[in-house]
Structure 1
Amino acid sequence: MTVRTTLTAVATATLMALMPHAAQAAESYPDPRPITGQEIIHDPTVIRLKSGGYAAYSTGGVIGARLSSDGRHWQDSGNAFAEPPSWWYEYNDTGDPWAPDISYRDGTYWLYYAVSSWGTNHSAIGVATSETGLPGTWTDHGKVFSSERTDSWNAIDPALIKSQGRLWMTFGSYWTGIRMVELNPDTGKALPGAEVHHLATRPDAPYAVEGPYVVRHGRYYYLFASYDACCSGVNSTYKIKVGRSTSVTGPYVDSKGKPLLEGGGDLLLEGHGDYIGTGGQSVFKDRGEDWLAYHYYDAQDNGTPKLGLNKLNWEQGWPEVA
């Protein structure tokens, strides 16, 4: 190694140490954890069940279900519901639900999901509960929150976060981006007249940011979101970005201080190798560790969407995919 090369390496290392956070280069992204069994999934939400093992729910079917005893071998376990609740048909002709979110609170599992049609914000978010979190045990409770064509937001892609005794739901896709509304913790539905907070958008139409998920770590709340285009197989450009705030309702900024409401956001994970269009993410706890769940499109399998799982490490106050 030459002296010049050594000095360059030292300077680069020093600069990296001084930066508050640096996004990983694409070639350095780790591959997802190897899994077996049923890998096909889209917009996954994962939870470690109180009874042991794991459940994953997703877009597809009547909220498609996957179960695993160890988080590595997954089996197709049918659907959350045997039949779509009748009110879903108000939002699409097939009763097709999207992008669920599972959580556990006060002895009950809560499953949020969206119903809509491609290209419209005539959309609604619903909720169901279960004592076990297992497919076939869910009781639907109807609409939580909705949007209409006259609104500047889109009520899909729900995710919950509890903060200082209050319950919040992030949501949003295109239509000016990511929003948040407060819920009644007893009913799990939006408080009447609740303010709709604006968390993230992009400066350019069609404001391609969606799938929000907020996590508390230390003194900060971290907003994860999917940017660019999903659902096009190997042509998908989905990627995951993140910002943080000391308040659950924002403002969220990236490591350089740029607000997510002005197009900011640190790149957390993007397509690399055979793993194309990483997004539709959620975060779950497993034995005290944070795990990122997402889908990617498999370049070796004609762009089939599959489950990605990576542990999250926290470095200098920011998440990194491990």
Structure 2
Amino acid sequence: MKCRAIIGSLLMCLVVAAQPAGTRSDTSLPTRQLQVHDPTLIRAKDRYYLFCTGRGIRVFSSADLKTWRQEEPVFKTPPAWAVKAVPGYNGHTWAPDISFHNGRYYLYYSVSLFGKNRSCIGLLTNKTLGPQDPEFRWEDQGMVLRSVPGYDPWNAIDPNLIIDEKGLPWLSFGSFWNGIQILQLERSYKKPVEGTTPQTIASRVKTAGIPDAGGAIEAPFIFRKGAFYYLFASWDYCCKGWDSNYKVVTGRSRQIAGPYLDKEGHPMAQNGGSVFVRGDGREWMGIGHNAVFTDTDGTEYFVAHGYDGYDNGKPKLLIRKIRWDAAGWPCLDASSE
């Protein structure tokens, strides 16, 4: 889910303790019944771990991508710097992004309030994802980036880390305002490179001759395959149950910072975007805020939430295999539904 704001720097490497018993359920739920927002997926050894929006960042695990067990949230008490940076933030944390690099797991997350761009992106790291591992411990690396109302024309939420062909880290992010942004990070992954500023790679700002989209774009995810970087983003509105009209669009670029063009060659920075998936108005209403996950056997999965038309528009987990057409564009594999 979304919102906006940011931070001043404080408290580096604050240890976020594991949660007490009682927050975990031993009941396993099938994928279609799992209610989530903004899921991101990774595999660690023999289990899959799903991180999503919720109090303290919700976590689920699975052995087969079919049934899911709720784990303890990442933190019980929200980081003090985040509470100070975003007045009103109470630990309900949005849109995490998980990845593994240099022997550690990097978990970026959003701190904001709905409809505001006083937002920040934070970072937690861990050596392992197995709660029973003696080295399991989330360490808070503090604020990575912030947006300030009246100053920044973008919103510092919905982070996604991508490593370029040179091994350099970049962070894409953004929701509404001037759209999706990207900037280069230091090799520590903790801060933007000094002197850099975000640049827009996808937007729905009103343009002459194009109907006003209300700026409704968010949730970037960049996926590298072959010679291209593919940018996924969500258009229109989440979080409205039956009335949600979320959809995922995509474009691609040979350079990580763009320009990203859709199938017709329109720049995503100027309202371009080819629809990848949308609701059908019956089984699923809106579908959006996706991630792309590659399993150890090379299978690529689209991971998102959709609003279940058969269950009062509740947000549910969707996982579908991705295939590629002859022109090198991603498609959903209908056989995996």
Which of 222, 225, 229 does residue 233 from structure 2 map onto?
225
Q: Distance in 2 between matches of 1:117 and 1:154?
A: 11
- 1:172-187 equivalences under 5 Å are 172-187=174-189
**Contact 1:160-1:168 at 8 Å conserved across structures:** yes
Instruction: Find the partner of 2:223 among 201, 212, 215.
Output: 215
Q: What code does the residue aligned with 2:47 have?
A: G
1:171 aligns with: 173
Match for residue 9 of structure 1? none
Structure 1 stretch displaced more, 128-137 or 140-149: 128-137
Q: Give the alignment partner of residue 87 of structure 1, picking from 81, 85, 95.
A: 81
Q: Tell me the CA shift for residue 143 of structure 1.
A: 0.2
**Equivalent of residue 290 in structure 2, options 281, 287, 302:** 281
Change (3 A) 1:37 1:260: closer
The alignment covers a number of residue pairs equal to 288
- Please tell me whether the aligned partners of residues 80 and 134 of structure 1 are also in contact (alpha carbons under 8 angstroms): no
Contact 1:63 1:79 in 2 (8 A): yes
Cα deviation, residue 137, structure 1: 2.8
Equivalence for 2:40: 45
Q: Distance in 1 between matches of 2:288 and 2:250?
A: 12
| TM-score, length basis structure 2 | 0.82
Once the two structures are superposed, the pairs formed by residues 29-40 of structure 1 within 5 Å of their partners are 35-36=30-31, 39-40=34-35
Distance 2:104 2:89 in 1: 31
Aligned residue among 122, 129, 140 for 2:125: 129
Residue 330 of structure 2 aligns to which amino acid in structure 1? Answer: P
Distance 1:176 1:37, change over 3 A: closer
Q: 2:49 aligns with which of 52, 55, 77?
A: 55
Q: Work out whether 1:255 is the aligned partner of 2:242.
A: no
8 Å CA contact 2:141–2:190 kept in 1: the answer is no
Question: Relative to 1, partners in 2 of residues 1:239 and 1:187: Cα closer, same or farther, differing over 3 Å?
Answer: closer
Q: Percent identity?
A: 42
Distance in structure 2 (CA, Å) of the matches to 1:248 and 1:216: 9
Is 2:32–2:318's contact at 8 Å kept on the other side of the alignment?
Answer: no
Q: What do the CA deviations read for 1:263-316 (whole angstroms, capped 9, x no partner)?
A: 111100000232121001111111212111000111222221111001111112
Correspondence 1:265 to 2:259: no
Consecutive unaligned residues in structure 1, runs of 5 or more: 1-33
TM-score (norm 1): 0.86
2:238/2:246 contact within 8 Å kept: yes
Aligned partner letter, 1:318: W
Q: Which runs of 4+ in 1 moved over 6 A?
A: none
Aligned to 2:16: none
Q: Which amino acid is 2:331 matched to?
A: E
Structure 1 Cα separation of the partners of residues 105 and 152 of structure 2 = 30
* Contact 1:37/1:73, CA 8 A, preserved across alignment: no
